[in-house]
Amino acid sequence: MAMLLWLAGVYLRIPILVAPPLAPFIADELALSQTLTGALTTLPILMLAIGAMPGSLSISRIGPRNTLALAMVIMVIGSAGRGLAPGTFTLFLTSAVMGLGIAMMQPALPALLPRWLEPKHLAFGSAIYMNGMLMGEFIGAGITLPLIMPLLENSWRATLLVWSLPALLVAAALFLPKRDLARPTRKVAWLPDWQNPLTLKLGLLLGVSGSMFFGVNAYMGALLEQRGEFENLTEALFWYNFAQVIASLLMLKMARHWVGRKAPLIIMLIFSLLGTLGMLVFTGWWAIASATFMSCTAGVLLIMMVALPPLLVPASETGRLSAGNFLIGYTMAFAVPMLGGLLSDWTGDVRHAIAVIITYGILISPLAIKLNLQRQ
């Protein structure tokens, strides 16, 4: 079960994070503008928010394991379809389908944990699949160009197929464990419970982690170029993404001690904000070290936030609480960096984009202090 959870977690990010290294090759062949090239990464992130509701609906009707398997098949159709896309329209259509599949996977995994694991192991189970997700970020971004493409004659189309198709085997293997309530015994609510304060609070806090990680990732190159330090970008991105791996390994050890406790959550939130602020205050390698520190602490914060729904609400409510959190969280992870980008375009200073992300995090921080982490 642990290996299946880990592999499913890997495919939460690999299909998204292989796009940036392949983007120049795709853009050359399909004559994409800079805006469209950037959208190869940002469109799936937007779909992570939009697709949360179909995932919750599917969980309420066919159960989390069947939903996870269906979502992985949808993800493979979209991800592999990108490699077969003849033009721009089909490329972005298949990218949207891929994002929908990943979005449905997200609430299915926390909803599946109570069906596969004992209550005392829920936090560790969350850490396992989140370790897979964060490892997927590093693997997808780190080995696509140096290892995978050379083996496939530098074909970006074949590379997308090779990354995508093995997920079908993972989807089939999900049915091997016997311990599962495959279908709900009755129809349960699937829309987010907006009367439950956890839906909004956890979602907005999840958005802090997402906006910091995706936002700094998006603007790091422009910031280094503005400072005349663009030659450091490759090393900066390596350590920035590798920090997510460190975060996931740390949480495999500490999940049972930290998840569900308010103090570690608040500390990681403060550390993440300080790391992001350090990018603006410092220059050179001190700025890169600050960004790396933020990436690690934001990764820990992400795991702690995603692991909360199975601990705080009954199993029948986990899917829709997670879906509501992802809907809000990834909407903010998309909107806040975009708002920062608009401000930086207006002022001509990319530091203002980072400042918007920091401001959002500061405004949302009081929610962590007031958060009720008692099981409902």
- Phi and psi torsions of 349, nearest 5°: -130, 115
pTM: 0.80
At 261, which amino acid appears? R
Encode the chain (376 residues) as per-residue pLDDT tens digits.
789 999 999 999 899 888 878 888 888 899 887 667 767 777 887 888 888 888 888 988 888 999 999 999 999 999 999 999 999 999 999 999 999 999 999 889 988 988 888 888 888 888 899 899 888 878 887 788 888 889 999 999 999 999 999 999 999 999 987 666 544 545 666 677 788 889 999 999 999 999 998 888 878 888 888 999 988 887 888 898 889 889 989 998 898 889 889 999 999 999 999 999 999 999 999 999 999 999 999 999 999 998 898 888 887 788 788 888 988 998 998 889 888 888 988 998 889 999 999 999 999 999 999 888 887 6
The tokens of 120 are what?
């005392």
Which homologous superfamily is 2-173 in?
Answer: MFS general substrate transporter like domains (1.20.1250.20)
Residue 281's contacts (CB-CB under 8 Å, 6 or more residues apart) are 287, 290
Distance in angstroms (rounded) separating the CA atoms of residues 24 and 37: 8
- DSSP for 132-195, please give it: HHHHHHHHHHHHIIIIIHHHTTT-HHHHHHHHHTTHHHHHHHTT-------S-SS----S--TT
Domain range summary for the chain, segments of one domain joined by +: 2-173, 197-370
The tokens of 161 are what?
């197929």
User: What's the CATH number for 197-370?
Assistant: 1.20.1250.20
Cβ atoms of 296 and 247 within 8 Å: the answer is yes
Is 2-173's fold the same as 197-370's?
Answer: yes
Distance in angstroms (rounded) separating the CA atoms of residues 187 and 372: 28
Nearest to 3 by CA among 120, 102, 141, 135: 135
Distance in angstroms (rounded) separating the CA atoms of residues 371 and 65: 30
